[in-house]
Structure 1
Amino acid sequence: MDLLSDLKKGKRGAIAKAITIVENDQKETRKILKKIFKDTGKSSIIGITGPAGAGKSSLINKTAISLKKLGSKPAVLAIDPTSHVTGGAILGDRVRMTESTDSGTYIRSIASRGATGAVSRSLRNSIRILEYAGFNPIIIESVGAGQTEVEIANIADITVVVFNPNTGDSIQTIKAGLTEIGDIYLVNKSDLPGTNQLFDAVRDFIGDSDRNPTILKTSVKKNAGISVFAKTLKDMMTIKKKFKEEKDLERFEAELKDIVLNNINEKVEEMMQSDKTFSNYLKKINSKKMDPFTAADKISKSIVK
């Protein structure tokens, strides 16, 4: 399989091809992962999240360049809300990140496709492809939209939450659940008015918690705070390495359950489409000869023989 040797060399075409397989072809994904799994799991995963418009893409662009100067080899996976027309990812993010791409950072958009588990699945395996290709850290960018945030916090070693003074409801946003997940909180676009109030609010709401997260200000426009942020990430990557084993165990547990349930789901779907049993019970419910719970129990028993 030439794809793997090109992947190991970090060739961009091979990486793009492998990630496309991971997103679209479960059978081929399994083949690739069986071969590369041993050589994955060593990179730091940094999740960067926050409300839309917080300036994450431009921030990641600059931070990737700073991380490179500190001797890292970053890659970026941007989770995009799916474009409904094509089912592909909207590539706005890539346009804003051209500078870091030119400096050798690998950037890829992944369509979120709206399904909770699906994000985790293609994300986990895309991360493995990038690890195999030698990238570290791997930065995941996501649009602040509820469930995905929590998923990213589960996958990432370091979670960064980005706010900016423009999102008028930022204090509400801060209260609404992003308080538990961040290791670093950034007030971005700190050249804008309202920065100090927002910074103080974040510190008051979040800074006092047991987790004691880091709170920083950055401005892409003024190129302020970016190198401090990159240095903070680099130091945190070293600290988190010590806990990687137990974090990995949690992740593998979640992944294994996910795959097992997925396998069972597929089997059940197949059975329901092709098996007479299901349609027979359906008719019984329809004619009120049986209630749905009894029917479901009988069908379940016939599956779990």
Structure 2
Amino acid sequence: MLDLVDLKKGKRGAIAKAISVVENDQKEARKLLKKIFKDTGHAMIIGITGPAGAGKSSLINKTAVAMKKLGTKPAVLAIDPTSHVTGGAILGDRVRMSESTDSGTYIRSIASRGATGAVSRSLRNSIRVLEYAGFNPIIIESVGAGQTEVEISNIADITVVVFNPNTGDSIQTIKAGLTEIGDIYLVNKSDLSGANQLFDAVRDFIGDSERNPIILKTSVKKNSGITEFAKALKDMMNSKKKFKKEKDSERLETELKDIVLNNMREKIDDMLHSDKIFSKYLKKLQSKDVDPFEAGDQITKSLLK
């Protein structure tokens, strides 16, 4: 049985248990959410994304420590591509983040389980568990894979895009849709050659946009730029507070639509499974007596009666 008192106190065992429930047991997750929902929604969500190999985990490790020193209580959810063997998350991130764990930051890898754009469906509720346990901000780390960045920016109050000089095709990457979403752009691994050119390119390409994002250089190896980055995040958390209510309203609307559409999809799947009209039109379609659109329209009409 999950102890809500321990969860409220931020005890690690209780948090781990609650997030496992959210990830693996839909029925219990619903019961848990019913109890904690009113006490959630207050933390700032920071999404950190960018190409694989940009050094996000080590950067987050150092940044979480710096943010703790600034008086915040960060937690980290690292979205991992699902481990094909166990269906769980690959826990490499935890190893790289040991320093921030020691300083009291809670870190959890959660599997993306093939959800669109590698953003886990259980992410929203894992965030709520951490909010209930008193963490703020909650940092989401995602593997930059196409759609993910845009999805992360829908979930996050602040979006950080991380580049590194090693990616080679950096400028192409910059142009590929990441220009719209970042509040902060980081050129990480700035101790490497090519970092200054990349920084200039990012500044020229993105810095002039109306949104006027912050562009910084960081190096975990040289421990440079991390404190500035943490301070920029803290300042931005304060300045974005006034938009949080509006953003949360939009997010809840999206979530509600998702839930309703999922419920409908499941219901329709069940109905189609046993529907005589569906089988009738499927046979007609297979023998090419009707075209797919005609068959679809007829089945839809019969379901909506």
* Shift in CA distance, 213/188, structure 1 to aligned 2, threshold 3 Å: same
Residues 112 and 120 of structure 2 are in contact (CA less than 8 Å); yes or no, is this contact kept in structure 1? no
Q: Distance in 2 between matches of 1:38 and 1:163?
A: 37
Structure 1 residues 57, 117: closer, same or farther in 2, change over 3 A?
Answer: closer
Residue 297 of structure 2 corresponds to residue 297 of structure 1: yes
RMSD (Å) for aligned C-alpha atoms: 1.5
Which stretches in structure 2 are left out of the alignment for 5+ residues? none
Residues 24-79 of structure 1 deviation map (CA, whole Å, 9 limit, x = unaligned):
22222211111111110000000001111111000000000011111111000001
Work out whether residues 219 and 225 of structure 2, in 8 Å CA contact, stay in contact via their aligned partners in 1: yes
Query: Which residue number in structure 1 is paired with residue 24 of structure 2?
Result: 24
Q: What residue identity is the alignment partner of 1:177?
A: G
Q: Which amino acid aligns with 1:115?
A: A
Provide the C-alpha distance between the structure 2 equivalents of 1:18 and 1:40, rounded to a whole number of angstroms: 14
1:223 partner amino acid: N
**For residues 100 and 175 of structure 1, what CA distance do their matches in structure 2 show?**
33
Which 10-residue stretch deviates more, 66-75 or 115-124? 115-124
Residue 257 of structure 2 is matched in structure 1 by 257
Per the TM alignment, residue 2 of structure 1 is displaced from its structure 2 partner at its CA by 4.3
**Counterpart contact for 1:74–1:138, Cα < 8 Å:** yes
Q: Distance in 1 between matches of 2:120 and 2:249?
A: 16
Q: Distance in 1 between matches of 2:230 and 2:115?
A: 32
Aligned match of 2:246: 246
Paired with 2:236 and 2:7, the residues of 1 have a C-alpha distance of 28
Deviates more, 1:267-276 or 1:201-210: 267-276
Q: Which moved more, 1:75-84 or 1:118-127?
A: 118-127
**Residue identity in the other structure for 1:302:** S
Aligned twin of 1:11: 11
CA shift for structure 1 position 299: 2.0
1:175, distance to aligned residue in structure 2 (A)? 0.9
Q: 3-state SS of the aligned residue for 1:268?
A: helix
The equivalent residue for 2:125 is 125
Alignment of 1:191 with 2:191, yes or no, is: yes
Paired amino acid for 2:113:
R
Contact 1:171 1:198 in 2 (8 A): yes
Query: 1:28 and 1:118, CA in 2 relative to 1: closer, same or farther beyond 3 A?
Result: farther
Greater shift in the superposed pair: 280-289 or 82-91: 280-289
How much has 1:193 moved relative to structure 2?
1.2
The whole-number CA distance in structure 1 between the counterparts of 2:296 and 2:117 is 25
Q: Does 1:179 align with 2:179?
A: yes
Match of 1:45 in 2: 45
Match of 1:140 in 2: 140
Letter matched to residue 46 of structure 2: I
- CA shift for structure 1 position 117: 7.5
Q: Give the Cα–Cα distance (whole angstroms) in 2 for the partners of residues 121 and 115 of structure 1.
A: 6
Output the CA distance in 2 between the equivalents of 1:277 and 1:96: 56
Write the distance in 2 (CA, Å) between the matches of 1:27 and 1:119: 21
Q: Secondary structure at the match of 2:180?
A: coil
Cross-structure match for 1:109 = 109
Q: What's the secondary structure of 1:20's corresponding residue?
A: helix
Contact 2:79 2:120 in 1 (8 A): no
Look up the SS of the partner of 2:215 in the other structure: strand
TM-score (norm 1): 0.96
Measure, in 1, the Cα distance between the counterparts of 2:119 and 2:284.
38
Going from structure 1 to structure 2, the CA distance change for 1:8 and 1:229 (only over 3 Å counts) comes to same
Distance 1:158 1:86 in 2: 32
Letter in 1 for 2:304: V
Name the counterpart of 2:82.
82
1:160 counterpart SS class: strand
Show the counterpart of 2:92. 92
Separation in 2, partners of 1:211, 1:117: 25
TM-score by length of 2: 0.96
Once the two structures are superposed, residues 153-210 of structure 1 have per-residue CA deviations (whole angstroms, 9 ceiling, x without a partner) of 0000000001111111111111111111100001111111111111111100000000
- Which runs of no fewer than 5 residues in structure 1 stay unpaired? none
**Are 1:120 and 1:151, in contact at CA under 8 Å, matched by a contact in 2?**
no
Q: CA deviation at 1:247?
A: 0.9
C-alpha contact (below 8 Å) 2:119/2:152 kept by paired residues: no
Report the Cα distance in structure 1 between the residues aligned to 2:88 and 2:120, rounded to whole angstroms.
17
Q: Cα offset for 1:120?
A: 5.0
Matches of 1:161 and 1:288 in 2, distance apart? 50
Query: Is contact 2:79-2:118 (8 Å) kept?
Result: no
